A = this chain, B = another copy of it.
Amino acid sequence: MPKLLIRNCQVLQVDESEARVLPAQDILVEGNRIQAIAPTGQLDPGPSARVLDARGQVAMPGLINTHAHVPMVLFRGAAEDVDAHAWFNDYIWPLESNLEEEDVYWGMLLGLAEMIQAGVTSVADHYFFMDQAARAVQEAGSRAGLGWAVFGSQGEEGLKRAARFVEQWQGQADGRITTWMAPHAPYTCDDDFLRATVEWAKRLGVGVHIHAAETREQTESSLARRGLTPIQVLERTGVLEVPTILAHLCGILPQDIPILAGNPVGVAHAPKTYMKLGMGLPPLQEMRAAGILFGLATDGAASNNTLDIWESMRLMALLQKHETGRPQAMPVHEALWIATRESARVFGRPDDLGHLAPGYLADLILVDLSGPHQQPVHSIPANLVYSTRASDVQTVIVDGRILMRDRQLLTLDLAEILGQIQGSMERLMQRVPERRIQVYRP
């Protein structure tokens, strides 16, 4: 692959205490890595390099979605204004019983198209038929950490399939695909099943991606049933010993925080879903103060309605200010830090993702700030958090390859994807009484 020179952009640099923007920079990409960043004109890319003019645009790390069920875009808007019990039992789990392999493939492609158009370059996905999802990731060119979701009711067989998926796909697509074991949740997997999952994870050298303490109701039910919080269950079954993405945690209790702080976990935070389903919020500030990592997430589009990490970032920051009554809470640089470098840690790539610097993966996006909703620009970091729309992302590069340029998708045929999905809709949207993949009974 020839070198790629991104010319004359403004480069966002975020650390834990500030967000800065370097004006008029060139970024040189060689292979799938950033080779150098320097003031415009100082780098010599050689005669064969491809040059991308990015004058006035902001270069920043591609956004990372640390917890999603991407193919659920198929059910976007299909279950509105209902509580969690109805959401699972009357809509989503009956609908998911209609899913066939091909649905996951096309749904994954659609969701990846949506995310590429929104500048989301990496996703930790937790769903079914994940070999199909992996196939879609291969084609789209995105980066993904994939886990085949398993319920305890699927027993040994389900677990083995999830493990086989890890064996087959870990490191595939030139390393763009990584994998996790992905048991559904403590309330749908018994202790032996969780222990067996951890065994597999350790044997395969991967982490675990799991829902936990999604609501206070789940925690209370666990306490009533067995005197343990869901987090204590995860500790006792060894889940927290391996690198783990914990989705949601809106229902955690104070005693859970020291447990999490002592283990290699990251929390996937999907505030739009929490608001929409009235789930409450995890005590994010207190948990981060205890050293627990947070990554931004969307959850599935059946609850979140989009896969837009800009919206997750904005809501995360707004909610911290709202909940505390302190406008100083979650300042702009902290929101950007979580969206980029901390999300990269939760995603399992602390050392070469979520930051623009030599040696890091060339996963980056170019954001246009020329629209009237962005002008005049007094603070690029503030604009990125509070004014930027997904549609301001112009160009998306993953692993050194351009996936979108000037808003044109280069790897995916959206019309074909939508046509395929349209053809399956009638079958997919059937709801047959008593047919569902599980019963929600936390």
Q: Return chain B residues, CB-CB under 8 Å to A275.
A: 318-319, 321-322
Known: A277-B321, A372-B418, A389-B390. 12 other contacts (CB 8 A): A77-B378, A77-B387, A78-B378, A83-B327, A114-B371, A117-B372, A276-B321, A278-B321, A280-B325, A305-B382, A305-B386, A307-B373
- Give A99 to B233 CA distance when docked, in angstroms: 61
Q: Is A202 an interface residue (CB 8 A)?
A: no
Cβ of A391: which chain B residues have Cβ within 8 Å of it?
A: 389, 391
Residue of B nearest to A118 (CB): B373
CA distance A305 to B371 in the complex (A): 13
23 examples of A-B residue contacts, CB within 8 angstroms: A73-B375, A74-B376, A76-B383, A77-B379, A77-B387, A81-B327, A110-B372, A117-B373, A272-B318, A275-B318, A276-B318, A276-B327, A278-B322, A278-B329, A280-B325, A305-B383, A319-B322, A372-B414, A375-B421, A376-B418, A376-B422, A376-B425, A391-B391
Report Cα–Cα, A389/B390, bound state, in Å: 8
Indicate if the CB atoms of B378 and A75 lie closer than 8 Å. Answer: yes
A371 to B390: give the CA distance in the assembly, Å: 12
With both beta carbons as reference points, the residue of chain B lying nearest to A111 in the complex is identified as B372
Q: Which residues of A contact B (CB under 8 A)?
A: 73-78, 80-84, 87, 110-111, 113-114, 117-118, 272, 274-280, 305-308, 315, 318-319, 321-322, 324-329, 331-332, 370-379, 382-383, 386-387, 389-391, 414, 417-418, 421-422, 425, 429
Which listed residue (B307, B315, B387) contacts A306, Cβ 8 A? Answer: B387
- With A275-B322, A277-B321, A418-B376 known to touch, is A331 a contact of B117 (CB < 8 Å)? no
A422–B117 Cα distance when bound, in Å, is: 30
